[in-house]
């Protein structure tokens, strides 16, 4: 009984904080958790994948093709790691494309990336998280929006206790930054409550009943 969450993005976007918050909330909800992080070189604007495994996992790494949920803070990184996902999984993707910092780099058009993701993972949600975060005054707050989206899904699926993840999200940063983060989390949370059907929540519940992910 394992739920595999793949978190991907660009080093510096706050992926490790997301994983840590999910971990804390899971442990408090009574769920075992393993989080495999990427440190060092890959934090300097490089491609980053964090493996979060809730439940009975003993290996820290998610097998290719067995990810249940993907949280992506960047479109190209979502495409890079989409092979970690099950076809029937859920991908929550920040609609933000950051070009790799290579002179003369050729990058796919945004809609091509989006269509590929849609064609690979059954349930995809594209969210203007970076735009919202910039509007609210925290340029790197997209992670909080995506986290809010996850929080809603996992609470409805009965994996996390209600309100825990949001409580923690609101403690990231000092003063007004914490308030902004809280607001961003709530925004993501409410998006999921509008967009994610009960049918999908039931699927998430059924994944949890499987012996292997």
Partner 1 sequence: MLDLLKLLKKDEVYKAIVPSFLGYRYMYRFKDLIRIEKGKAFLLGNEAIARGAIEGGIGVASAYPGTPSSEIVEALTTISKDLGIYVEWSINEKVAFEVAFAAAITGVRSLVAMKHVGLNVAADPLMSSAYTGVNEGFVIVSADDPSMWSSQNEQDNRFYGMHAYIPVFEPYGPGEAKELVKYSLEFSSKIKHPVIFRSTTRISHTRGVVDLGPIPKSVKVKGEFGKELRFALVPAVSRKNKLALLERWRKISEEVEHCPFNFLEGDGKHLIIAPGVAYSHVREAIQFLGVKARILKLSSVYPIPEAMLLKAVSDVDDVVIIEELDPVTELQVRSILHKKNITIRVAGKDLVEYPYELSIERVVEVLSKFYNVPNPLLQTKAGGTKGIEVPARPPTFCPGCPYRPLFFEIRRYINREKLPYIASGDIGCYALSLNEPYKLQDLIIEMGGSIGLANGLSKVTDDMVFSFIGDSTFFHAGMPALANAIYNRSPQVVVILDNQIVAMTGHQPSPSTVMEGKKAIAIEDVVKGLGVEFIRVVDPFEIDDVRRSISEAVKYVREKKMPAVIIARRRCALVILRDLRRRSIMLEPCYIDQEKCIGCGTCYNWFACPAISKVDGSNKAVIDPSLCVGCGSCVIICPVNAIKLPKGTEPRKLKELWR
- Tokens representing 167 are 């409580």
Distance CA 116, CA 85 (A): 13
Site for partner 1, residues 90 to 119, rule: CB under 8 A: 96, 98-108, 112-113, 116, 119
**Contacts to partner 1 from residues 119-178, by CB under 8 A:** 119-121, 130, 133-134, 139-140, 142, 157-159, 161-162, 167-168, 171, 174-176
Residue 84 interacting with partner 1 (CB under 8 A): yes
What CA–CA distances, in Å, run from 200 to 13, 61, 68, 204, 212? 28, 25, 12, 6, 19
Between 154 and 191, name the residue whose CB sits nearer to partner 1: 154
The residues facing 7 across adjacent strands are: 50, 71
Segment 1 to 40, residues that bind partner 1, using CB under 8 A: 1, 3, 10-12, 19-20, 23-25, 27-40
Q: Are 33 and 50 in contact (CB under 8 A)?
A: no
- Binding string to partner 1 for residues 51 to 80, with x set by CB under 8 A, is what? ---xxxxxxxx-xxxx---------xx-xx
With CB under 8 A as the rule, give the number of residues binding partner 1: 93
Residue 87 Cβ vs partner 1, minimum distance, rounded to whole Å: 6
Picking from 198, 176, 186, the residue whose alpha carbon sits closest to that of residue 145 is 186
């Amino acid at each position: 009984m394992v739920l595999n969450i793949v978190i991907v993005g660009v080093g510096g976007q706050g992926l490790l904080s997301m994983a840590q918050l999910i971990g804390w909330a899971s442990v408090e909800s009574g769920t075992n958790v393993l989080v495999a992080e990427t440190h060092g070189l890959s934090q300097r604007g490089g491609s980053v994948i964090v493996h979060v495994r809730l439940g009975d996992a003993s290996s820290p790494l998610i097998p290719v093709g067995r990810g249940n949920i993907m949280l992506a803070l960047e479109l190209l990184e979502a495409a890079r790691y989409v092979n970690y996902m099950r076809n029937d999984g859920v991908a929550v993707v920040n609609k933000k494309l950051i070009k790799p910092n290579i002179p003369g780099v050729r990058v796919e058009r945004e809609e091509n990336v989006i269509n590929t993701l849609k064609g690979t993972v059954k349930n995809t949600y594209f969210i203007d998280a970076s735009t919202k975060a910039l509007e609210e005054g925290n340029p790197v707050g997209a992670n909080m929006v995506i986290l809010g989206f996850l929080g809603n899904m996992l609470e409805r699926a009965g994996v996390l206790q209600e309100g825990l993840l949001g409580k923690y999200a609101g403690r990231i940063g000092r003063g007004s930054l914490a308030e902004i983060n809280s607001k961003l989390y709530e925004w993501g949370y409410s998006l999921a409550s509008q967009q994610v059907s009960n049918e999908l929540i039931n699927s998430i519940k059924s994944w949890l009943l499987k012996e292997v992910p």
